[in-house]
Chain A
């Protein structure tokens, strides 16, 4: 019975139900969309954190006699394991190229199956190919001994009487193979430079027996990190089956590791190489969740308000329906139950629609990548995480319905029961928030949180390159409080402003819209509460969209700046110490796409006072053409403001310019520019003499150098590598006697395609000739992608842009239709008194223009303020604090155009609604 009445209450007025469901679905949709987006991000972040790990589990034999070859196939059969390969490691005493003259250090031999190269993406063959009858050598070993494919290599093992000689079949790059040197007992990998790889069959025949005997007869414990004979099983986990949640994934991996050990009890000791990556991903995902949810929370609050507004639209109608039930004898309890059941029906409908809307929004805004991540048929789809998000979104729908539908309906019923007379909003007491000045309280609270964050050093940037950054929950309270406070303050001020500006509005609108504009102006002024509510919602939605757009643009631009700062320019090429290059080498680096190159000297052994410090030498003319040198990196070292700041240990330095500081360095041969941090530490001011001790690699002696401080900086390109003292390059090379460059910086047009081309060209040209490391702004961003600095906010932004568009356009339409609905009799009377449709259209358009225009202005002003606050608060995730906001002009313009278009369409739709209105029905008792 109760259900039947509740069902009829819901179905009786489809317009009411649809409007309410729309508001609720919008709120739940955005919230669930954010949750799903976080799930997708979690999966991506976990996968990105794992990407550099090329070997998941290494199981070391506990004794040389363990047969790893027999264990590997058994382990490979285990569920969750994609592949397992037997590998044997054994240290050789020396390796000499036959006919060569270079003495050879000790190194390590790995015996493996030919399939190992396909199973694990660990060893890159840079020349030749694997041959069961030959040997492959590491690049470092090949460079050091001048070994080429076709040469012969003689290897000697301790305890084995005869050396073995093998033809060199290939050269192997070990850049990604540090994990090969993981030991079962040591916390850190014991890297070995000279490494050879042979076929496991050959090893079994030639070396297994004598080395096993040698291992069995060892008199003393071998030094840590060494391997006389170390049988291993290398395991690749099926990562597609791992849960997206890093905690669960870590548990599953640990469980796999234990089961590997359990299959061969006492024989294998397995090491899980993924655990560190999981814990880093876990921290980052937690921070990302906090970030996303707080960035999206205002939107959810707005949509909830819209749902409440939609529910209120039809409150009078519902009240009459409930009164009718009362007159037919329904008890208050029965009516309460009917309201409760109707609310539950609406909650279920709205939540289901909202979750569907959230999924669609995610797929529309985040694209195919998100769609595939949410494909329940995909292997490894995390049902637990998905169910969790759906459950939270559903719960949110219930809570919103309780607040938006049940509470107002229940209140209406109570008023009916107590026979209170229905009174108009105009004469109602101001709402509680207005009386207690909640808006002011919230803004003060936001300011207090900001101060607390400031005092606690929340804005200080992380010094560590690529470090995982933790965000505190309370940091986000400031923008949230500020945003809610601004919502309420906007309501208060717009209402007050419109109320006071009646004459001006009437005059202005009369000039624009004709005589009816005068009435519209007065109507808006005297209906300020309703207009301000609509304005506040649209404006705050717009501010939400604008602040996110500005924040994201700033975030993107900061990511690029940080990458340039870390690299120093677009590309950095670092030669190995054993293949030193002079400044002239820069000319060889100007391959197509490179517009400038400069060599930088680096002395990591230099002394300032008694402390070791890295000193750099730059060629100012070429350096300034190549390096990333924004003025914000420099301070005016001679200014009293800077001196005071250094004295008082504040950061209020006088702004400087890159040109002035580099000019000063270039014009002073023994000039040195110094980081403010070090200048403060050593109490150095511009003009002071600075005594440096440079290390001479030729004589292995220190040379005293007297330099003069000519400028100061806060950041310097590549100063993530502690570049605190910068000299002129010529001066430094002459005094130290060391003419080799630490690295070379290259300038390109900065485009991703050019960076990739130049990097590939340089790698092709030099990688097989000498060990070099090539980094670009693109690779730096990639390697940091597990940290917060590299979060992809694009998907979230797209989702929230779609939401902003929906709320601003549809929301405006709801408000206008609501205002018509409330004033059916008024519009009916206007028509009866002779108002034509053109006049009513202009009347409506004046209202829409007021709401839209005010929303645009307030929305953008508040949006910029919020964006500024977000950038200030989240500056902690950038290495370099953002100096200013980056403006996504096109996006903001699009947002404005969408609001204006939404306003025009809403006014048009409302006008059509009005045109269809039947005057007689409008004038009837509603």
Chain B
């Protein structure tokens, strides 16, 4: 069994809405292992995206712990978290969130640019990834000139640019038609396998989830199945 890469222990997130306190996640314990593909499923508002954001260090838990490679993220400041995301994580967003003023190639280069990679290295890496996702011929296009599926493929290439250990995808096929969604999922899983990544994917879609090694189920902020400890 592969060693754990990311663990959550008693992870809790509450929000204040007016005078009420809403609990989005309630003492969730999950363990993710290296090279594992995990789907997070559950009805709307059950805390899927909240869990993903906490795993990625984009949000701070109200209580509990997130351990990445054994390091507690609670001890990291904003800038350290940013550096951690830059070096170890890749993000894929539902709405792609490509930078509209950058070309496809520049979008893929962006995480490397933040890390200070030399231009040649950035360029070569971007071209390789675009070739991999089948968009080498669109390198100089602006995102608005691409279809939704193509944009998401660019998003996948960008997420892989800095060779992350863990890839966090928030409903990557949520905005796509079923055929395109299947295509994107195929690309994603193949690349994750090829690059030996740990993939965590929030999804509503049972078919997409079925492609994963494990399905984590959430309901009303509680983990109801697939915490990974049992395996």
Binding site for B on A (CB under 8 A): 424, 426-427, 515-516, 518-519, 522-523, 525-527, 825-826, 828-837, 839, 918-920, 923
Query: Would you call B58 and A919 a contact (CB within 8 A)?
Result: yes
Query: Would you call A831 and B82 a contact (CB within 8 A)?
Result: yes
Query: Complex formed: what's the CA distance from A833 to B162 in Å?
Result: 10
User: Please, which residue of chain B has its CB at the minimum distance from the CB of A525?
Assistant: B101
The answer to whether B114 has its CB under 8 Å from any CB of chain A is yes
The answer to whether B185 has its CB under 8 Å from any CB of chain A is no
**Chain A positions within 8 Å of B101 at CB level:** 522-523, 525-527
19 A–B contacts, CB within 8 A, in A order: A426-B144, A516-B113, A519-B113, A526-B100, A526-B102, A825-B95, A825-B97, A829-B91, A833-B86, A834-B82, A834-B87, A834-B111, A835-B86, A836-B82, A836-B83, A837-B82, A839-B114, A918-B59, A923-B93
Query: Complex formed: what's the CA distance from A834 to B111 in Å?
Result: 7
Contact size class for B?
20 to 34
Which of A427, A826, A833 has the largest count of B CB atoms less than 10 A from its CB?
A833
Binding site for A on B (CB under 8 A): 53, 56, 58-59, 78-79, 82-87, 89, 91, 93, 95, 97, 99-102, 106, 110-111, 113-116, 142, 144, 158, 162
**Chain B positions within 8 Å of A829 at CB level:** 91, 93, 97, 99
User: Please, which residue of chain A has its CB at the minimum distance from the CB of B122?
Assistant: A515
Query: Would you call B110 and A833 a contact (CB within 8 A)?
Result: yes
Query: Complex formed: what's the CA distance from A829 to B101 in Å?
Result: 14
User: Please, which residue of chain A has its CB at the minimum distance from the CB of B54?
Assistant: A920
Query: Complex formed: what's the CA distance from A837 to B114 in Å?
Result: 11
A527, A830, A837, A920: the one within 8 Å of B78 (CB):
A837
User: Please, which residue of chain B has its CB at the minimum distance from the CB of A832?
Assistant: B91
B24 to chain A, nearest CB (A): 11
Query: Complex formed: what's the CA distance from A910 to B216 in Å?
Result: 40
Query: Complex formed: what's the CA distance from A791 to B83 in Å?
Result: 63
Given A515-B116, A516-B113, A519-B110, A832-B85 contact (CB < 8 Å): yes
Which of A825, A834, A918 has the largest count of B CB atoms less than 10 A from its CB?
A834
User: Please, which residue of chain B has its CB at the minimum distance from the CB of A828?
Assistant: B97
Which of B89, B101, B114, B162 has the largest count of A CB atoms less than 10 A from its CB?
B101
**Chain A positions within 8 Å of B93 at CB level:** 829, 832, 923
Query: Would you call A835 and B114 a contact (CB within 8 A)?
Result: yes
B93 to chain A, nearest CB (A): 7
**Chain A positions within 8 Å of B78 at CB level:** 837
**Chain A positions within 8 Å of B142 at CB level:** 526
Closest 5 CB pairs of A and B: A834-B86, A526-B101, A829-B97, A834-B85, A523-B101
**Chain B positions within 8 Å of A831 at CB level:** 58, 82
Contacts A832-B56, A834-B115 known; 17 new A-B pairs at CB < 8 A: A518-B113, A522-B101, A526-B101, A526-B142, A825-B97, A826-B99, A828-B97, A829-B93, A829-B97, A829-B99, A830-B99, A833-B91, A834-B85, A835-B114, A836-B79, A839-B114, A923-B93
User: Please, which residue of chain B has its CB at the minimum distance from the CB of A835?
Assistant: B114
Query: Complex formed: what's the CA distance from A839 to B89 in Å?
Result: 19
**Chain B positions within 8 Å of A424 at CB level:** 100, 144
**Chain A positions within 8 Å of B56 at CB level:** 832
Query: Complex formed: what's the CA distance from A830 to B78 in Å?
Result: 13
Query: Complex formed: what's the CA distance from A522 to B113 in Å?
Result: 14
Query: Would you call B114 and A833 a contact (CB within 8 A)?
Result: yes
**Chain B positions within 8 Å of A923 at CB level:** 58, 93, 97
Query: Would you call A920 and B114 a contact (CB within 8 A)?
Result: no
Query: Would you call A826 and B97 a contact (CB within 8 A)?
Result: yes
B152 to chain A, nearest CB (A): 14
**Chain A positions within 8 Å of B91 at CB level:** 829, 832-833
User: Please, which residue of chain A has its CB at the minimum distance from the CB of B164?
Assistant: A834
Query: Complex formed: what's the CA distance from A522 to B101 in Å?
Result: 7
